[in-house]
A and B are shown apart, each in its own frame.
Chain A
Amino acid sequence: MSDETPKPDELFGKIDYRTPAKGWMDTPVNIRKGMYCYASNPKSVKNLGLPNARAWNPLEDDWKLPENWQQILHEGFKERLDKFRSIKIFMDICVRCGACADKCHFFIGTGDPKNMPVLRAELLRSIYRNDFTPTGKIFGRLAGARPMTLEVLKEWWYYLFQCSECRRCSVYCPYGIDTAEITIFGRELLNLIGLNIDWIATPVSNCYNTGNHLGIQPHAFKDMLNFFVEDIEEITGIHVEPQYNKKGADILFITPSGDVFADPGTYTCMGYMLLFHYLKEKYGLDVTWSTYASEGGNFGFFTSHETMKRLNAKMYNEARRLGVKWILGGECGHMWRVISQYMDTMNGPADFLETPVNPITGTRFENAASTKMVHIAEFTADLIRHGKLELDPGRNDNKIISFHDSCNPSRGMGMFDEPRYVIKNVANNFYDMPANTIREQTFCCGSGSGLNAGEDMELRMAGGLPRANAVKHVHETYGVNMLACVCAIDRAALPTSMEYWVPDVDVTGVHELVANALILPGEQDRTTDLRGEPLPGMEDADEG
């Protein structure tokens, strides 16, 4: 965390919910350090063949836009109105009732009125009215219309990258207006004139080339998993052998590359490896990883529908090439929004795959009958339900756990009970956070939709406040010290947010907990968990 980020007390003290005296149309945007992400690297933009690749700096007056940028935006707007009924309707029918206003974590954490979902949308609606509606053309500002200017454009850019597309506001909207949809659309427009952020553009470019956001090349990918193989052997005495790009395997496993790269995601990754090893030894399950489709996440989703499709195509392509029966997906947030609501439509039909059947339990995953991709929490819950895993939940006894519902699996899929079922079976201490902060009402970690960069730390911590505040509540009430989640961005973002707001709480993936509890055939007496921390009752055991 950079030194410039305010201390928690300062940040908290800065929150001011009083609305400014001046109207929002008269308040120009103030692009503030710590609240925005750096502009995209031209190399990445160029590699993807996206428009207007050039170096630019949001703090400078000149954004080096194409000369006819207004026309490009206007035409882009028009084109998308004809392509997306959602946008057309969401532009027309908002009554500004204000139900969404205090639902946004960025609004709660900053008090900035333009972070109220309704105003974020109004930034675009005002232009829509001006350009496309008769009332806007006649009555102008009285009808809430204003012309597109450079000021407005900067406002768009600033606030569309202060929305994490979490859809919380959409749950409360009486018309189901989804700000995520509006942000996705707005960012797509911005991309037409080359306004993106590097934290998104470069991962996308990497992913396009190497198959994953981090740009890990095939041999390095194997190397990295090999490190985990060594760690696992040290902790459990078991030598696991992950398979790569294996033709004819039963199942292709795809997870976000973040899990391969950084703690605590790496422990979750080790969790997957242990689980697959266990299933292979006991039941002969044949799972392969892929170095080509080595990314579950999809930052293309934060760029444009087209880019999303380009990155997502690898999943089905690889499944077809390897001839697997179906695909298993790891713990990730927006990855599952894409898989659940976009993949089949964009890159399907996946008729070359089979309706997923768990060969061990015989369960047919009817809910994935068309997409042919199963979430690992569903898969593991099914195994546990059928008693196919030998577990010692006591090994997680030193962890008092709460579960953070990630935005996308919650409001873009509806996966709430599967991970809870898994956690409750692999650990003994579980406490949910207050009802209005979990499940479909869950808060974003504060760093979703490609905003988990380093330079916008103040924004991230502010956005993470509502979640952290609820965690703090269970921490103080039940002594919760471990926050479980099923999202790689959560595992990257929440540790920082917890360290900032609730320093005694750690973050874990669900399958790290599974692997801790999983009793492997022939394992040595474990003294530590996957992190190398002593197991309960082993605190005094000799090292080594």
Chain B
Amino acid sequence: MNKYYMSSLLAVFALAAVAYFGSMGLPWLFGILLPYAAVVVFVLGFARKVMGWARSPVPFRITTTSGQQQSLPWIQQARIDNPSSTVGVIVRMALEVLTFRSLFRNTRMKLHDGGKFSYNLEIFLWVGALAFHYAFLTTLVRHTRFFFEPTPLCIQFLENADSFFRFEIIYDFIQFGLPGIYVSGLVLFAAAVYLFLRRLFVSNVRYISLASDYFPLFLIIGIAFTGILMRYFTKVDITAIKELTMGLITLKALTFQVPEGISALFYIHLFFVSVLLVYFPFSKLMHMGGVFLSPTRNMTGNTRQVRHTNPWNPPVKVHTYEAYEDEYREKMIEAGLPVEKMPEPKVEKPTEEEKKE
């Protein structure tokens, strides 16, 4: 299994090297062309994948009913876990998408001495996943400061909230904490590292992990790491960077010179993001779109109340009652079972034996 995460790790290092050296000679490629190309690939790839899913119908309503059905009026229905209304489905999906409700149920099986199994709540994966996704979202949103001038107030609010905890470390050899700490970046880094260590040390999870599980994790760890480096350690010229990003977002970048003084670390950061965008639509990361379309979650459970139609529903060969009765008519009559058609009175045709006689 080693080879899976080693190859991914090496790939990410190689990408970093490419950006590091490449950006020295070709800053416009790494600063302008590749980011544009990445966004285009992401948008088209994402749309293509989702529309590909949309093209296939949902022939049956296969809701996972995780709670009491709507039944007799005096029985309390689980309106969210087994919804019978659109509102219920919307709430279920919202909880699924926003709070990872199904994952929250996660239990851990343990076999105890004396031969008893227990299945206790296992919350760490849920916590890690939630931390990871929300930190990523926050980080992403506050990066929009690079794409608006002036920076919108709501983004400033978010930045203020994100840097609510102010802490600085000063020693002779280390200075950390200015500009103010964004919790989201650190949480994103920590959560991604946790998710990686989990893959590494939980034997079941290591066994099922593929290179395509490690690679995006390393890439995201790399993005968070370079971001943290740039902000707190090897500072970059933020004004020059915003000049570049504003040039990108206003589509002027194609005609202008990449600003001087942007460090290679920034190009590594940007290249990682570009690679992630390109990789996204072709990978498991599409769970972002897929979670909305999962047929076991996004439909009502009242399948007996409201008919679901299947666009392809070809007729099949069935054994009709008529054929059945034809086959068993005599036995049925003998047993006193009702039949549709009484047998014709026997034609006075001599049987084989009579003929012989």
A contact set with B: CB distance below 8 Å: 12, 15, 17-20, 23-24, 49, 81-89, 92-99, 101-103, 108, 113, 116, 118-119, 122, 133-135, 139, 142-144, 167, 170-178, 181, 208-211, 217-219, 222-223, 244-247, 291-292, 305-306, 309-310, 313-314, 317-318, 321, 339-342, 344-346, 348-349, 363, 365-371, 373, 378, 381-382, 385, 410-418, 421, 434, 436-437, 439-441, 466, 469-470, 472-473
List A contacts of B327 (CB < 8 A): 209
**Pick from A113, A175, A292, A370: contact of B207, CB under 8 Å:** A113
Q: Is the CB of B211 within 8 A of A178?
A: no
**Known A-B contacts A89-B290, A378-B72; A310 and B306 likewise in contact (beta carbons under 8 Å):** no
CB within 8 Å: A-B pair count: 324
**Cα separation A96 to B327 with both chains bound (whole Å):** 53
The 4 closest A-B pairs by CB, nearest first: A414-B69, A93-B290, A219-B335, A414-B65
CA distance A413 to B54 in the complex (A): 26
State A105–B331 Cα separation when bound (angstroms).
45
- Pair B211/A142 contact, Cβ less than 8 Å: yes
Q: Are B74 and A142 in contact (CB under 8 A)?
A: no
Contacts of A291 in B (CB 8 A): 332, 337
User: Which residues of chain B come closer than 8 Å to A18, judged between CB atoms?
Assistant: 203
Contact residues, B265-305 vs A (CB, 8 A)? 282-284, 286-287, 290-291, 293-297, 301-305
Q: Is the CB of A174 within 8 A of B103?
A: yes
Say how far A407's CB is from chain B's closest CB, in angstroms.
11
Asked if residues B75 and A417 are in contact (CB atoms below 8 Å), the reply is yes
Given A174-B103, A385-B74: A306 and B208 interface contact (C-beta under 8 Å): no
Q: Does A85 contact B56, Cβ atoms closer than 8 Å?
A: yes
- Which residue on chain A has the smallest CB distance to residue B75? A417
Docked complex Cα distance between A411 and B78 (Å): 13
| One of B68, B72, B317 near A385 (C-beta < 8 A) | B72
Q: Contacts A176-B102, A310-B318, A413-B65 known; A97 to B303 CB distance under 8 Å?
A: no
Contacts of B312 in A (CB 8 A): 83
- Interface stretch among B111-119, B141-149, B219-227, B231-239? B111-119
In the complex the two chains form, is B321's CB within 8 Å of A340's CB? no
Residues of A within 8 A of B76 (CB): 417
B-chain residues with CB within 8 Å of residue A382 when the two chains form the complex = 72
Q: Which of B61, B102, B283 has the most CB of A within 10 A?
A: B102
Q: How far is the CA of A143 from the CA of B63 in the complex (A)?
A: 30
Q: Does B60 contact A (CB under 8 A)?
A: yes
Q: With the chains together, A93 CA to B49 CA distance in Å?
A: 11
> Is the pair A97, B129 in contact by a Cβ cutoff of 8 Å?
yes
B242 interfacial by beta-carbon distance below 8 Å:
no
Decide yes or no: A370 and B332 within 8 Å by CB, A12-B115, A82-B55, A83-B312 being known contacts: no
Within 8 A of A (CB), among B203-217: 203-213
Inter-chain contact A96/B286, CB cutoff 8 Å: no
Q: Identify which of A99, A167, A245, A306 contacts B337 (C-beta below 8 A).
A: A245
Q: Do B291 and A175 have beta carbons less than 8 Å apart?
A: yes
Q: Give Cα distance in the complex from A217 to B332, angstroms.
A: 9
Q: Is the CB of A371 within 8 A of B106?
A: no
* Known A85-B293, A211-B324, A344-B304: A101·B309 in contact at CB below 8 Å: no
A434 CA / B107 CA spacing, docked (Å): 13
Instruction: For A378, list chain B residues within 8 Å (CB).
Output: 71-72
**Nearest-CB residue, chain B, relative to A109:** B117
Q: Which of B49, B59, B296, B324 contacts A178 (CB 8 A)?
A: B296
Contact with A along B312-343 (1 / 0, CB 8 A): 11101111110011011001101111101000
Pick from B59, B106, B129: contact of A172, CB under 8 Å: B106
Instruction: Report B-chain residues with C-beta under 8 Å of the C-beta of A414.
Output: 65-69, 78, 82, 301
Q: How far is the CB of A207 from chain B (nearest CB, A)?
A: 9
User: Which of chain A's residues have a CB closer than 8 A to the CB of B65?
Assistant: 410-414, 440
Task: Establish whether residues A143 and B119, one from each chain, have CB atoms under 8 Å apart when the complex forms.
Answer: no
Q: Select which of A116, A170, A306 is within 8 A of B64 by beta carbon.
A: A170
Q: What residues of chain B have their CB less than 8 Å away from a CB belonging to chain A?
A: 1, 4, 7, 49, 52-72, 74-76, 78, 81-82, 84, 96, 100, 102-103, 105-109, 111, 115-117, 119-120, 125, 129, 202-213, 282-284, 286-287, 290-291, 293-297, 301-310, 312-314, 316-321, 324-325, 327-328, 331-332, 334-338, 340
A368: chain B residues at CB < 8 Å are 304-305
Q: Is A84 a contact of B59 with CB atoms below 8 Å?
A: yes
A93 and B306 within 8 A (CB):
no
Cα distance A208–B331 in the bound complex, in angstroms? 18
A173 to chain B, nearest CB (A): 6
B75 close to A96 (CB less than 8 A)? no
Determine whether the beta carbon of B313 is less than 8 Å from that of A346. yes
Residues of B close to A176: CB separation below 8 A: 64, 96, 102, 291, 294-297
Distance, CA A414 to CA B64, complexed state (A): 9
Would you give the shortest CB distance from A40 to chain B, in whole angstroms? 19
Q: Are B319 and A208 in contact (CB under 8 A)?
A: yes
A-B contact pairs, 18 of them (CB 8 A): A83-B312, A85-B53, A85-B54, A92-B49, A92-B286, A97-B125, A134-B282, A174-B129, A175-B291, A217-B331, A222-B335, A245-B338, A291-B332, A341-B60, A411-B64, A413-B69, A469-B116, A470-B117
CB distance from B16 to the nearest CB of A (A): 19
In the complex, the answer to whether B125 meets A313 with C-beta atoms within 8 Å is no
Q: Tell me the minimal C-beta distance from B73 to chain A in angstroms.
A: 8
Do B100 and A174 touch across chains, with their CB atoms under 8 A apart? Answer: yes
Given contacts A413-B69, A418-B72, contact A83 B56 (CB under 8 A): yes
Given contacts A348-B307, A413-B301, 19 further A-B contacts (CB under 8 A): A86-B294, A92-B49, A97-B129, A102-B204, A143-B210, A144-B212, A173-B102, A174-B96, A177-B294, A208-B319, A345-B307, A370-B307, A371-B303, A378-B72, A412-B65, A415-B69, A416-B68, A418-B72, A473-B116
State A406–B211 Cα separation when bound (angstroms): 38
Whether B210 and A144, one on each chain, are in contact in the complex, defined by CB atoms closer than 8 angstroms, is: yes
Could you say which residues of chain A place their CB within 8 Å of the CB of B205? 96-98, 101
Task: Give the CA-CA distance A217 to B333 in the complex, in Å.
Answer: 13
Given contacts A178-B62, A218-B332, contact A367 B305 (CB under 8 A): yes
Residues of A contacting B208 in the complex (Cβ-Cβ under 8 angstroms): 24, 96, 98, 101, 113, 116, 118-119, 122
Is the Cβ of B62 less than 8 Å from the Cβ of A341? yes
Contacts of B335 in A (CB 8 A): 218-219, 222-223
Is the pair B211, A144 in contact by a Cβ cutoff of 8 Å?
yes
Contacts of B61 in A (CB 8 A): 341, 345
Question: How distant is B251 from chain A, measured CB to nearest CB, in Å?
Answer: 29
Provide the bound-state CA to CA distance between A363 and B287, in Å: 43
The distance from the CB of A229 to the nearest CB of chain B, in whole angstroms, is 13
Q: How far is the CA of A495 from the CA of B340 in the complex (A)?
A: 41
**A219:B304 contact, CB within 8 angstroms:** no
Q: Tell me if A469 and B316 are in contact (CB < 8 A).
A: no
Instruction: Tell whether, in the assembled complex, residue A345 and residue B204 are in contact, meaning their CB atoms are under 8 Å apart.
Output: no
Cβ of A18 to closest chain B Cβ, rounded Å: 7
Q: Are B64 and A167 in contact, CB atoms less than 8 angstroms apart?
A: yes
Return chain A residues, CB-CB under 8 Å to B293. Answer: 85, 89
Q: Is the CB of B302 within 8 A of A367?
A: yes
Set B58, B206, B287, B297: member contacting A95, Cβ < 8 A: B287
**Contact B338 A345, beta carbon cutoff 8 Å:** no
Known: A174-B96, A223-B335. A99 touches B103 (CB 8 A): yes
Q: A85-B295, A122-B208, A218-B337 known; A369 and B331 CB under 8 Å?
A: no
Smallest distance from the beta carbon of B88 to chain A beta carbons, Å?
12
Q: Distance (Å) between the CB of A431 and the closest chain B CB?
A: 17
B212 in complex: contacting residue of A143, A167, A174, A208, CB < 8 Å: A143
Chain B residues lying within 8 Å of A209, measured Cβ to Cβ, are 319, 324, 327
The answer to whether A85 and B58 have CB atoms under 8 Å apart is yes
